A and B are shown apart, each in its own frame.
Chain A
Amino acid sequence: MIAAEGATAVAVPEGAAEGRWAVETHGLTKRFGGNTAVNDVELLVPRGSAFGYLGPNGAGKTTLIRVLLGLTHADAGTMSLLGYRVPKHRDLALARVGAIVDEPRFPRHLTGRQNLSMLAAVREPAARTRIEPALERVGILHRADDKVAKYSLGMRQRLGVAACLIGDPQLLLLDEPMNGLDPAGMQDMREMIQSLTAEGRTVVLSSHLLDEVERTCDAIAIVDKGKVIRQGPISELLAGTSVVIQVECSDPERARELLERTTLGSQIEDVHLGISVALPAGSGRDAIAEIARVLVEGGVAIYRLQPIQASLESWFLQVTSRLGASE
């Protein structure tokens, strides 16, 4: 994680309830007619973390963020931001929250700096002094006096982040912040998010890009059809997934026969120059040694034996396919 120079810890707001959660929801529900976009969501986002809210398109990610921000009302449930109950103490909570919801849009006839001036005017007086540093931080200071009409989508994303930063937020809710960014821009955004969390801020990142979330976040929640189906630190969630062993050997057919006779309970597939052995969740390192022993004793020469931890993507697909199968 990249630590920002001069970063300081963010204190808990005066009057806010003590607690370790930046976002806390219980039974949160939002319906649009017969469609339940947010379905009884129980969400706990630790303070100071980069938290991924992960789900396919239409899963209700943006709706949840809109409900949290008071952009639309919830039909049921309770929620708090930075320890403040929302919507009761919405003004206090949102004073230290920055957000990008959907594609960031701004008045096109104003410059980037003028847009930030408008947004700073609705915040505390000190927000005006943060405009320049915020523009510099997101890398568009040199275009600050250009009209937004001339900005690319990526630049508007950056302006959206700058708009968040002028409020000196303890919590940032970023809805698909990588949209419209080129690879270099995505890398920049990743580093920015990491630097923000290094300063003690909490970043909640909604995305359908599994790889981005895995690279950026410490913890995640998986949402599908409006409902959170898993949440926790990525390492803990992946710890319960299967491990795949790739074996490159002299006789793949023989290797398959030998391993199928064992009690490892593995699933074996043919791959180029060898086989792939998927061990059940919870299999220890001994299982890998057992594979090597069986193959060597069976006269199969091993050229390469590589355990591969399941990626977030494969785990996500496992989880969602399991759910799909159970329906």
Chain B
Amino acid sequence: MTTVQANVPTPSLASTSGDAPPDHRGSYVPTFGMITTRMMELTKRRGLMITLAVVTIGIPTVFLVVRLLAHAFDPKSYGPAGGYTIFTSLVAGVLFIFGFIVAATLGCTAGSADLGDGLFRHLVVSGRSRLALYLARVPAGLAIIWSMVATGFIIVCAICVLAAPTKLNDNGLNVPPHLSEVQFEAWSAANADQVICNFPFFGGPKRSGPQLGNVNCGPHGLVIAGTTSPNGTPVTQAEIKAFAVTIAKQNYASYSRLFLYPSDSLMIESGLWVELEATIGFLVGLGLASLIGQRTVSVILMIVLELILTPIFSRAHIPHLINAQRSVVGVAMAHIEPGALPLVFGGGGGGPGSGPGGGRSQLIPETTTEAIIVIVAWIVVWTALGAWRMMTRDA
């Protein structure tokens, strides 16, 4: 049994002398202390933090570590862990989508936890502006989610750069990187059989350059007997090399867009894009949970938005609903995706070889300006709705 010590006076009673507190309590600007303690409150949710870390950092890290080990033990069967393709796939397929879900979960928690825990009432009776109480959650939550997503992203970048392959994989062939067009043609001539049997030939009557009549490829990608020249005679080695150079000319454009590892600019653009998606997820989740006052329902709605509605609305051209489809934030985010990445939501329309924005053609049409307006509108509207509910809610 503890004892209340009635003879311990509250210490600073004399010092305050009852003056109005010098803390601008009615101001809507949250104090630094409010932000840091809110961060503390969120980070002390051990289960939530572990889950978020596993999804944003653990999944890509485990994936890459497994690839590293597999390549280390059996390099012939398993390719390098890193590289350009792995990077773009992980960014668009894992960090983008999971980052959003994780951020939304954190936002929903930040928006509804005070109500569930009973802390909201204690905070309100302090006289502090309710708007300030709401706004304190924004930097606190963003600091957490940005750092988590950034950590996962940096790990992906580091492994994809450091463990990148030494040769490019172009249409199943290992090709030396950074070749000029002449060098690429020379390499193709030197590896004519494999080029002919693996690279696409965009031939036709109007195509210039030497052609072959009938190409037969063996099991190892080698031109074998039965291959003929256009006039039907058996093909010579010179004709094979000339044909390989023709194919090289046709494929140099796609080759030149292949990289061993992502460029600095692509990593920066992709990082900002993933962080923006996480920011949207957090702010919309915060606003939604503050509005309806429930975490579970809010999280479910956010997941439905990201995994079901957005993929459908981004591709299906629904008459009469096209403007509604454009107003979905995930569709807008897909439109400002760095061009070298594959289209999000499993589209695979972009990526290496497809050219910048190669997957955009599958999306419903929307200009970049419209996409930016949609993104800003989502952030502003949901923040305003959450703040309004916070200010008017009975505590």
Q: Give the total of A residues in contact with B, Cβ under 8 Å.
A: 77
The CA-CA distance from A122 to B124 in the complex, in Å, is: 9
Given known pairs A12-B18, A97-B127, A189-B4, the reply for A133 and B119 (CB within 8 Å) is: no
How many Å from the CB of A168 to the closest CB on chain B?
5
Our pick among B37, B118, B133 for the contact of A106 (Cβ within 8 Å) is B118
Answer yes or no: A129 CB below 8 A from chain B CBs: yes
Q: Is B125 an interface residue (CB 8 A)?
A: yes
Check A168–B128 contact: CB distance below 8 A: no
Q: Does A314 contact B (CB under 8 A)?
A: no
Q: Which of A52-60, A64-72, A206-214, A238-246 sits within the interface?
A: A64-72
Chain A 110-122: CB-based contact to B (< 8 A → 1; otherwise 0): 1000110111111
Residues of A within 8 A of B127 (CB): 90-95, 97
Q: Contact check: which of B18, B21, B26, B45 meets A109 at CB < 8 Å?
A: B45
Q: Does A27 contact B (CB under 8 A)?
A: no
Chain A residues with Cβ below 8 Å from B12 are 126, 129-130, 168
CA distance A67 to B10 in the complex (A): 27
Can you list the 8 inter-chain pairs with the closest CB atoms, starting with the nearest? A105-B118, A94-B127, A188-B4, A11-B18, A124-B21, A195-B6, A139-B2, A91-B26
Q: Can you sample 19 A-B contacts with CB below 8 Å?
A: A4-B6, A4-B8, A8-B14, A94-B25, A101-B125, A105-B119, A107-B117, A107-B119, A109-B45, A121-B36, A122-B133, A124-B25, A125-B23, A126-B15, A126-B16, A129-B12, A185-B1, A185-B4, A191-B4
Give the most central of A102, A122, A155, A191: most B CB within 10 Å: A122
Q: Does A222 contact B (CB under 8 A)?
A: no
* Chain A residues with CB below 8 A from B7, complex form: 2, 4-5, 195
Chain B 101-119 near chain A by CB (<8 Å), digits 1 or 0: 0000000000001000111
Q: Is B298 on the interface with A (CB-CB < 8 A)?
A: no
The residues of A that contact B20 with a CB separation of less than 8 Å are 13-15, 92, 95
Chain B: residues with CB nearer than 8 A to chain A? 1-23, 25-26, 31, 33-34, 36-38, 40-41, 44-46, 113, 117-119, 121-129, 133, 394-395
Chain B residues with Cβ under 8 A from A94's Cβ? 25, 125-127
The reply to whether A117 and B129 contact each other, CB–CB distance below 8 Å, is: no
- Set of chain B residues within 8 Å of A158, measured between Cβ atoms: 2, 4
Given A7-B13, A101-B125, 19 more A-B residue pairs with CB atoms under 8 Å apart are: A4-B8, A11-B17, A13-B18, A14-B18, A70-B125, A71-B124, A97-B127, A99-B125, A105-B121, A107-B117, A115-B119, A121-B33, A122-B126, A123-B21, A126-B12, A139-B2, A143-B2, A168-B13, A188-B4
Whether A133 contacts B11 in the complex (CB less than 8 A), given A12-B18, A106-B117, comes out as: yes
Complex alpha-carbon distance, A192 and B10, angstroms? 12
Of B8, B113, B395, which is in contact with the most chain A CB atoms at under 10 Å from its CB? B8
Q: What residues on A are CB-neighbors of B129 within 8 Å?
A: 91
Residues of chain B with a CB closer than 8 A to A140's CB: 2
Complex Cα–Cα for A7 and B9 (A):
6
Determine if A182 is an interface residue (Cβ-Cβ < 8 Å): yes
Which of these, A8, A117, A182, contacts B37 with CB under 8 Å?
A117
* B394, closest chain A residue (CB): A72
